[in-house]
Amino acid sequence: MKPSLLAPLFKDLSALQGVGKGTLFCLAQLGIQSRFDMISHLPTGLLERRRILTITMAGDGDLVTLPATILSVDGLVSKSRSRSPRPLRIHCQDRSGQLFTIALFRANPDYVARTYIPGQERLISGRVEHFKKQLQISHPDFVGSLEATPYWEGVEPVYPLTKGLTQKRIQGLIKENLKGLPDLPEWHRESVIRQYGWPSWKQALNDVHKPEQEKDLSPIAPTRHRLSFDEMFANQLSMMLVRSQQKQFKGQCHVLNTEMREKFLQILPFSLTKDQNKAIAEIDKDMSSSGRMIRLLQGDVGSGKTVVAMMAMLTAVASGGQAALMAPTEVLARQHGHVLKAWADEMGLILEVLTGSDTAKKKREIYAALASGECHMVVGTHALIQEGLTFRNLTLAIIDEQHRFGVEQRLKLSQKGDTPDLLAMTATPIPRTLMLAAYGDLECSYLREKPANRQDVDTRVISLDRLDEIMDSLQRALQAGDKIYWVCPLIEESETMEIAAAEERYCVLKERLKGFQIGLIHGRLSAQEKIERMSAFRSGDTQILVATTVIEVGVDVQDATVMIIEHAERFGLAQLHQLRGRIGRGDQSGTCLLLYGKESGHLSRQRLQVMKNSHDGFYIAEQDWKLRGGGEVLGSRQSGLQNFRFVDMVVHEPLLNLAHQEAHDILREDPSLKSDRGQAIRILLHLFLKDKAMSYLEAA
């Protein structure tokens, strides 16, 4: 339940005067569904409207307001709205006697007759065009009596629009909505407000819609700065509330089994890195404590997360529980399954792989084995969260590439057990800032160090102009035994075009490199086909694999040595880094060619240089974040950052630590937010719809 103070902000938009289905639809396109959404729609520009005495004072394209007398209306014939492509013309004369016309297309005759009465003087505001030596205003923004509002001059905000909405309309709607703004109690500490010179919440919202100069539009103008801080603070606080609540859930109390671990370490053909050992120790601590483990394991492709996951799974099994690992794609699930099953077999444990393409019979068998507890571990895709699949006692859920699953799906896996411990894994390193912003103080383990014998990939940034040369040089590389990935350009708008590009490249290469086997893989293939083509490449039956970006994160073909990426500038650095991580995985060194298009700009060239100079995924992610900014780093949507109204994470990053600290402090002083300030903060949380956090708070 939202406090009644906030009710006006969340009243239905349709209750507004003159807002019908059409307008509601347009507003929804802009993400505006409530009145608070409406006033959160910030101007992106400003326009100056000048008051002038005669129209000759206006240059072509000027926005002006002036008094003029209506002389006659031309073309007003029928009663119905004109469908004629020709405009209706209204002849006017300004006070100096200068003539001009107003042009109206598809005008409503009633409106015209009411508004433009010959012989009367009107105040007219609009953009002046010099049209065939004539002066004209088409579709004036305002027409009214001479005493009309002073709003018709001066600076006005310009808002992002969508088809079907005009500037005038949205300006009006926002103005209307600003009227009912409640006075809310201050939720920030006074010293913080003073330090930054911020206006009150209400003042900030009012002023943000009345920019006077360009600098008022800046994200660090006091109004916007304050609104962003409000949002960031609310966000940090709600994540902390949710987390502290979750920690109170009783989790699984696992027992560490040294004997089993030692056996496992003996099976491994290598010894663990320092980071792997540290991550395992952190996981052990969580798993053996009574609270619930919620931990994120971050490490580049090839950093060795699988072994860490296996260790955790062994702990679950040794404690009499079961473990499940869910991966986002069939290819990945099979690959994990392949590695883990071999280990499990040697340990004398039962591990099954379950995916959508298993036969009904196979599925039934696995279901039975999981329900009885006969099967200790399972690796799979979404098949793991189907209805009807039950575990005897699932105590550990691992989610690989966690950002590729929705909250719902992650939750569903958890619900297969009784608050199982949770380990999420990601190969997309998340810069600290983003981490804090998107997940609050979620606990993390890092694998920064590369397993021994891994060599840096020789990376070159080359113009696509040299494509021919490069294709020729492949002949030599193939003769020397190289295995090559050829990644085709990312085409955001259309998967079909992307596949077409890959098919074309495939044909060209086939033509040029007779005597070598070439494979093609893309997203429209069935899971079975993808697996077959990957394994043909793994076994060496094909030597070049032409691919769209479907060559999944984590796909492991040990002896692939060369990767060519067309139009590398279209990819995010984190994505390039992941792609590149797919080569040079064995003992041979790898080569990666990043081909950029002619039209790519300086900035994108600079980004590619980062790739050339670094192999540290965390560093690359930071740089990408700095060069490109925010949400894109994590592949947009999943980052959780898209939901901000006011915050521009790149610009407002300096506020993040403060928001975090303030949230931390208030929860320490007043954990249930009962004090006066606590009450004000509750209102803030409601404002930003953190209902989830609120329900926890109310339950407490």
Binding site for Mg ion (CB under 5 A): 305, 554
**In the bound complex, what is the minimum distance in angstroms from residue 589's beta carbon to Mg ion?**
22
Nearer to ligand ADP, 251 or 554 (CB): 554
CB of 459 vs ligand ADP, minimal distance in Å: 19
Q: Which is nearer to ligand ADP, 7 or 267 (CB)?
A: 267
Which among Mg ion, ligand ADP, none contacts residue 417 (Cβ within 5 to 8 A by kind)?
A: none
Q: Which listed option, Mg ion, ligand ADP, none, makes contact with residue 693 (CB within 5 to 8 Å by class)?
A: none
Smallest separation, CB 332 to ligand ADP (Å): 9
Is 99 within 8 Å of 72 (Cβ atoms)?
no
| CB within 8 Å of 26: residues ≥ 6 apart | 162, 163, 164, 165
Binding flag, residue 452, ligand ADP (CB under 6 A)? yes
φ/ψ of 140, rounded to 5, equals -55, 150
Distance from C-alpha of 25 to C-alpha of 273, rounded to nearest angstrom: 56
Is the separation of the CB atoms in 70 and 110 below 8 Å? no
Q: Count residues contacting ligand ADP (CB under 6 A)?
A: 17
Cβ closer to Mg ion: 305 or 533? 305
Residue 306 as a binder of ligand ADP (CB under 6 A): the answer is yes
Q: Is 272 in the site for ligand ADP (CB under 6 A)?
A: yes
Contacts for 55-62 with beta carbons within 8 Å, 24 or more apart?
Answer: 55/94, 55/98, 55/100, 55/128, 55/135, 56/96, 56/98, 56/135, 58/128, 58/135, 59/128, 60/128, 60/129, 60/130, 61/127, 61/128, 61/129, 62/127, 62/128
Are the C-beta atoms of 402 and 409 separated by less than 8 Å? Answer: no
* 144 near ligand ADP, rule: CB under 6 A: no
Nearer to ligand ADP among residue 26 and residue 340 (C-beta): 340
Contact positions with ligand ADP (CB under 6 A) in 411-450: 427
Q: Which is nearer to ligand ADP, 276 or 381 (CB)?
A: 276
CA distance 214 to 44: 10
Does residue 689 belong to the site contacting ligand ADP (CB under 6 A)? no
Q: Which one of Mg ion, ligand ADP, none interacts with residue 371, CB within 5 to 8 A by kind?
A: none
Binding partner of residue 303 among ligand ADP, Mg ion, none, CB cut-off 5 to 8 Å per kind: ligand ADP
Contacts with 418 (C-beta within 8 Å, 6 or more apart), sequence order: 252, 393, 394
Given the complex with Mg ion, which of 305 and 580 has the nearer CB atom?
A: 305
Q: 549 contacts which partner out of ligand ADP, Mg ion, none, CB within 5 to 8 A by kind?
A: none
CB 429 within 8 A of CB 300: yes
Considering beta carbons, is residue 157 or 554 the nearer one to Mg ion? 554
Judged by DSSP in three states, 292 sits in coil
Find which of ligand ADP, Mg ion, none residue 451 binds, CB within 5 to 8 Å per kind. Answer: ligand ADP
Among 31, 270, 642, 676, binds ligand ADP (CB under 6 A): 270
Show the binding pattern over residues 532-571: x = contacts ligand ADP (CB under 6 A), - = does not: ----------------------x-x---------------
303 binds ligand ADP (CB under 6 A): yes
* 3-state secondary structure (DSSP) of residue 641: coil
Residue 329 interacts with ligand ADP (CB under 6 A): yes or no: no
Q: How far apart are CA 85 and CA 87, in angstroms?
A: 6
Measure CA 249 to chain center: 30
305 forms part of the interface with ligand ADP (CB under 6 A) = yes
H or E element, residue 367:
helix 360-372
Closer CB to ligand ADP, 306 or 575, in the complex: 306
- Closer to ligand ADP by CB, 23 or 426: give it: 426
Q: What angle do CA 173, 175, 180 make, to 5 degrees?
A: 100
Q: Tell whether residue 307 is a contact of ligand ADP (CB under 6 A).
A: yes
Among ligand ADP, Mg ion, none, what does residue 583 contact (CB within 5–8 Å per kind)? Answer: none
Stretch touching ligand ADP by CB under 6 A, among 225-233, 302-310, 312-320, 434-442: 302-310
Residue 368 CB-half CA count within 13 A: 6
Instruction: Determine the Cα–Cα distance for residues 417 and 323; give it in Å rounded to an integer.
Output: 10
Cα–Cα distance between 33 and 10 in angstroms, integer? 9
Pick one of Mg ion, ligand ADP, none as the site partner of residue 302 (Cβ within 5 to 8 A by kind).
ligand ADP
Looking at the Cβ atoms of 300 and 421, the one nearer to ligand ADP is: 300
Taking CB under 6 A as the criterion, the residue among 87, 299, 380, 519 binding ligand ADP is 299
Place of tokens 């002896």: 559
Q: At its nearest, how many Å lie between Mg ion and the CB of residue 332?
A: 7
**Is residue 72 within a helix (H) or strand (E), and if so which, with residue range?**
strand 63-74
Tokens 């039962």, located at residue: 350
Calculate Rg over the CA atoms of the chain. Answer: 32
Q: Which stretch binds ligand ADP (CB under 6 A): 84-92, 226-234, 270-278, 537-545?
A: 270-278
Q: How far apart are CA 254 and CA 288, in angstroms?
A: 4
Closest of 594, 588, 375 to residue 463, by C-alpha? 594
By beta-carbon proximity to Mg ion, the closer residue of 126 and 581 is: 581
DSSP letters spanning 659-679: HHHHHHHHHHH-TT--SHHHH
Interactions with ligand ADP, residue window 647-686 (CB under 6 A): none
Indicate the residue among 315 and 578 with the shorter CB distance to Mg ion. Answer: 578
Comparing CB distances to ligand ADP, the nearer of 174 and 327 is: 327
The β-bridge relationship of strands 294-299 and 443-447 is parallel
DSSP string, 476-501: HHHHTT--EEEEPPP-TT-HHHHHHH
The answer for residues whose C-beta is within 8 angstroms of residue 199's C-beta and 6 or more apart is 207, 222, 223, 226
Residue 530 to residue 524: CA distance in whole angstroms: 9
Residue type, 500: A
Q: What is the spatial distance between Cα 688 and Cα 647, in angstroms, rounded to a whole number?
A: 12
User: Which is closer to ligand ADP, CB of 451 or CB of 523?
Assistant: 451
> Which residue of 43, 157, 304, 328 would you call a contact of ligand ADP, by CB under 6 A?
304
Which of Mg ion, ligand ADP, none has residue 182 at its interface (CB below 5 to 8 Å by kind)? none
Residue type, 459: T
Binding range to ligand ADP, per CB under 6 A, among 271-279, 368-376, 514-522, 621-629: 271-279
Q: Kindly tell me which of 336 and 416 has the beta carbon lying closer to Mg ion.
A: 336
Question: How far apart are CB 458 and Mg ion at their closest, in Å?
Answer: 23
> Could you say whether residue 617 binds ligand ADP (CB under 6 A)?
no
Contact region with ligand ADP (CB under 6 A), list: 84-92, 127-135, 269-277, 513-521: 269-277
Tell which residue, 416, 432, 341, has the closest CA to residue 618: 432
Cβ of residue 436: shortest distance to ligand ADP, in angstroms? 23
Give the burial class of 15: count Cβ atoms within 10 A of its Cβ; 0-12 exposed, 13-18 middle, 19 or more buried.
Answer: exposed
- Signed CA dihedral, 364, 366, 370, 375: sign only: positive
Query: Given the rule CB under 6 A, which residues bind ligand ADP?
Result: 270, 272-273, 276, 299, 301-307, 427, 451-452, 554, 556
